[in-house]
Amino acid sequence: MMIPVFILCSIVIFLILHLVPGNPVDNLLHPGSPLEAREQLIKEFGLDRPIYQQYIIWLANVFKGNLGVSITEQRTVSELLLLKLPNTVVLGVVSFLISFILGIFLGALSAIKQNTIVDYIGMVLALLGVSVPTFWLGLMLMLIFSVNLGWFPISGYGDLKSLVLPAFTLGLAGAGLIARVTRASMLEIAQKDYIAIVRAKGISNSQVIIKHIFRNALIPIITLLGLRLGWIIGGAVTIEIVFNRPGLGRLLANSLFRRDYPVIQGSLLLLIFAVMVGNLIADILYAYADPRIRYN
């Protein structure tokens, strides 16, 4: 089922970008260039063929690992993607970890200390995390830690120091929802009869929380894990622009401005593939956390 959806996604990606008014070669030509030059370019990129032929040629090439050549840069799309991919993967993985560790910690703490000041502060923070636009958080962290305190560089990439602010921006903004789900899930489980039975057996409170409540509360959190991947990828687009980091997100945004179809299609395909793999991993982890679930 994953492959058909992926192929349908590729059709959608291919179609929406080709039904747009405006030809990508127009961005390449100087105003006033002769019409012959335009037609020659259109032929060169295969844009004169019927659309289904273009799609089939493109899809066949995709499965061969050939994503085409960028229209605006003299490079193959796979080259461009491979060049930018590591930066985005590092940013994504680190912020993913930050958001989950922080979110689960905050949510569990709030649940354990329910209806105390700790809980209220935690939940207000989580609510702010859900409400804040990611890029604004990035700007503010940049203002405080780069401009005023000078601890971290404003932009750039490569070293660890330049990763701290972007990763924390994305991680903090993502932690809010995770904290809320963790808290609600733990409180829900704590209500169950089997927890009362475990408590009645005389098991210590910390054991009950860690082994019984938390373990059972993990299931919705794991499912959230798969869904959050898409969010992190989307967030990376804005964060890479805010912090001027080269990466897939910025590549995609720039290509959208320049109507560089092959690059847009390639990076979208890669991102959607990543989202689907993320969901698959979440499904597998799901079965691992909940022994009741078995896949055939």
Contacts of another protein in 108-167 (CB under 8 A):
110-116, 119, 123, 127-128, 130-136, 139-140, 142-143, 147
Angle between helices 77-112 and 215-242 (to 10 degrees): 130
Q: Is 184 in the site for another protein (CB under 8 A)?
A: yes
Distance, CA of 251 to CA of 210 (rounded, Å): 43
- Of residues 209, 251, 263, 270, which one binds another protein by CB under 8 A? 209
Nearest-approach distance from CB 147 to another protein, in angstroms: 6
Smaller CB separation from another protein, 35 or 291: 291
Distance, CA of 162 to CA of 247 (rounded, Å): 14
Q: Is 210 in the site for another protein (CB under 8 A)?
A: no
How far from chain centre, in Å, is Cα 48?
Answer: 35
Nearest-approach distance from CB 205 to another protein, in angstroms: 6
Q: Is 286 in the site for another protein (CB under 8 A)?
A: yes
Distance, CA of 270 to CA of 293 (rounded, Å): 30
Name the DSSP class of 46.
Answer: T
Q: Is 197 in the site for another protein (CB under 8 A)?
A: no
Distance, CA of 170 to CA of 98 (rounded, Å): 9
3-state helix, strand, coil in the chain (%, to 5): 75, 0, 25
| Residue-by-residue DSSP string for 254-282 | HHHHHT-HHHHHHHHHHHHHHHHHHHHHH
Window contacting another protein (CB under 8 A); options: 9-17, 25-33, 53-61, 92-100: 9-17
Nearest-approach distance from CB 190 to another protein, in angstroms: 4
- Of residues 55, 121, 279, 289, which one binds another protein by CB under 8 A? 279
Smaller CB separation from another protein, 23 or 279: 279
Q: Is 82 in the site for another protein (CB under 8 A)?
A: no
Total residues interacting with another protein, rule: CB under 8 A? 79
CB atoms inside a 10 Å sphere around CB 47 = 17
Tokens of 282: 């979440």
Distance, CA of 229 to CA of 216 (rounded, Å): 22
Smaller CB separation from another protein, 7 or 56: 7
Smaller CB separation from another protein, 32 or 274: 274
Smaller CB separation from another protein, 110 or 162: 110
Smaller CB separation from another protein, 80 or 242: 242
Q: Is 207 in the site for another protein (CB under 8 A)?
A: no
Longest dimension (CA), the chain: 87
